[in-house]
Structure 1
Amino acid sequence: MDPRGTLIGGRYKIEGDPIGSGGMANVYKATDIVTGNPVAIKMIKDENMRDKMNLERFNREAQTTASLQNPNIVRVLNVGNYEGRPFIVNEYIPGKTLRQVLDQRGRLPIPEALDAMAQLCRAMLYAHRNLVIHRDIKPENIFLMPDGTIKLGDFGIATFMNSAHITKTQNVVGSIHYLAPEISAGGQATPQSDIYSMGITFFELITGKVPFEGDTPMKVAMGHANTKFPNIRKFNSECPESVAKIIYRCCAKNPLDRYQSVYDLREDILRVKNNPQMVQKAPSIWERIKRAFQNSRIKRRRRS
């Protein structure tokens, strides 16, 4: 199906080629002929129309996102069906994804990364309070608006915390570089698995890289499960200890050792963000030795 120029739902005129595409659906820019405003229409691809599981996933995204109204979550304006094909109408996002920002600029300055994460926390705190687990937090699904606002999108594999129909097989879904080890092992998605993904995203914003690489998904998953989390300062010597501690706690192997709520994570991020001294870079090993030497000299003088 080529929807270019088509009037969807009697209201949304698709303007041209897709502005985005994923495994599940294409996204088109369209005009709402009632308001004159631009919108983004997500339409499931032809090959996924014949797959019952993909149809269920697409409809679940429509159901989930339509129930979430938050300034830091991409807003759903309408859902519908056009000639048997489901579609979702989202607000049009004129900005870029954080993946595009990282590809173009490299790692973010520490204050920008803290601000992005504080806003992401606001989105996820709202989602979790509404019993929604995202399950696919990564830079590709986070948008940066021209005014600096962060918006989280793509709830295509999200699930409700009280959902009983999600099987272990279905749970192993998401982007392997951001998946918590218990999810890769087939475990149940929880708020703590979202927090792990947020920590990996934070690490990438700070360093421009992901912590575990591999030439197969299995090797990446094994890194998350078994390899000690890398020293962030080896990737970015400017990273303050206060920021590194937040990331390390988010990315603990054991979910019980992570933040137990996004609220607590957000409180720590805001504490650092609002305290300039805590955003100062961590001292190098030589700076620490020099400081220790100076302190010992001061102590000796006091004794004499």
Structure 2
Amino acid sequence: MTQAVNVNVLRPRQRLGKYRIDGRLAESGYAHVYRAYDTVEGVPVALKIPTVSADGLSTDELCKEVRITARLVHEHILPIKNAEFVEGRLLVAYALGEQSLADRLRSRLAIRTALAYADQMLAALAYAHRRRVIHCDVKPENFILFENDVLKLSDFGIARLARGTLPVSGSGTVGYVAPEQALGRTSFRSDVFSMGLVLYKMFAGRLPEWPYEWPLTGFDRL
């Protein structure tokens, strides 16, 4: 009996245009992210490809992410290297970082390093907000670490261009999402709430427990 092939999953060494797939890095609700090699430039990249869907919504979502990210030119926001259609699929290439902040937080940070990271993260989010972009999914996994301890905010996949408060479907990541965002009402303050939790985890070593009561979990480590 022949097994069905999952057309959404690419195999190592598979080629799409100038990119050679080396392995999977992550996945979201509408896309897979692969470690790939740009055979023209000769550099590794993170390659984001929408899942195959009959209604084309995954491609539409990734196109929206490309357009929003293109508005943001900042040293601590991950820029797009290239976006193109190959064999009918949208490919979006980003510079490949060393690891995510979530990976880095598996070991304790020196206070000087944590303060430097906090400064970079806050600068990135403040800039996005000045450009009227609400990220909607601020969490350690979406800050990518590059050489020389440079952090860049990534993954604007569920971001919104906004004025004031927006009615949207509940989204975000459990543990970091603001209560009003989980209920479908997001604003710039929702990102600030999430950023506060990221910073708390970075300095305290763990997230506080909901419902928040003083003293917060991990407060003794601050």
Q: CA deviation at 1:16?
A: 2.0
After TM superposition, the score normalised by the length of structure 1 is: 0.63
Listed one character per residue, the Cα deviations across residues 219-264 of structure 1 (whole Å, up to 9, x for unaligned) are xxxx3xxx344425x515352xxxxxxxxxxxxxxxxxxxxxxxxx
Of Structure 1 and Structure 2, which has the larger fraction of its residues in strand?
Answer: 2
Q: Secondary structure at the match of 2:48?
A: strand
Q: CA deviation at 1:179?
A: 1.2
Match of 2:218 among 226, 235, 240: 235
Q: Secondary structure at the match of 1:237?
A: helix
Q: Does 1:60 pair with 2:64?
A: yes
Paired-residue identity, %: 30
CA deviation after TM superposition for structure 1 residue 193, in Å? 1.0
- Residues 55-103 of structure 1: per-residue CA shift (max 9 Å, x gap): 332221111112222111111011122222222111121x111111223
Q: Does the CA contact (< 8 Å) of 1:14 and 1:28 recur in 2? A: no
**Compared CA separation, residues 228 and 167, structure 1 to 2 (3 A):** closer
Which one has the largest radius of gyration? 1
1:6 positional shift = 4.5
Q: Distance in 2 between matches of 1:112 and 1:118?
A: 10
The residue that corresponds to 1:24 in the other structure is 30
Q: Which digits, 9 at most, give the CA deviation of each residue in 1:20-65, with x for residues without a partner?
A: 333432222333333222222111123xx23554333222111111
Q: Which of these residues, 79, 95, 102, is aligned with residue 91 of structure 1?
A: 95
- Where in structure 2 are the equivalents of 1:283-298 lying within 5 Å? none
Q: 1:73 to 1:62 in 2, by over 3 A?
A: same
**Conserved 8 A contact 2:69-2:80:** yes
Residues 163 and 36 (structure 1 numbering): CA distance in 2 closer, same or farther, change over 3 Å?
farther
* 2:105 is the alignment partner of 1:102: yes
Structure 2: how far apart are the matches of 1:40 and 1:23? 17
SS at match of 2:149: coil
- Which SS does the other structure have where 1:108 is aligned? coil
Q: Aligned in 2, Cα 1:51/1:99: closer, same or farther, shift over 3 Å?
A: farther
1:178 maps to which of 176, 180, 191: 176
Cα displacement (A) at 1:3: 5.6
Q: Distance in 1 between matches of 2:47 and 2:104?
A: 23
User: Which residues of 2 match residues 1-304 of structure 1 at below 5 A?
Assistant: 1=7, 2=10, 4-8=12-16, 10=17, 12-46=18-52, 49-93=53-97, 95-103=98-106, 105=107, 107-162=108-163, 167-168=167-168, 170=169, 172-187=170-185, 189-212=186-209, 223=210, 227-232=211-216, 235-239=218-222
State the AA in 1 paired with 2:99. Answer: K
Amino acid across the alignment from 1:111: R
2:134·2:159 contact (CA, 8 Å) conserved in 1?
A: yes
Q: Verify the 8 A CA contact 2:13 2:20 in the aligned structure 1.
A: yes
Alpha-carbon distance in structure 2 between the residues aligned to 1:78 and 1:13: 11
User: 1:127 is paired with a residue of what secondary structure?
Assistant: helix
Partner AA of 1:26 in structure 2? H
Q: What secondary structure, in the 3-state scheme, does the structure 2 residue paired with 1:177 have?
A: coil
**Number of equivalenced pairs:** 214
* Structure 1 residue ranges without an equivalent (≥5): 213-222, 240-304
* Further displaced range: 117-126 or 55-64: 55-64
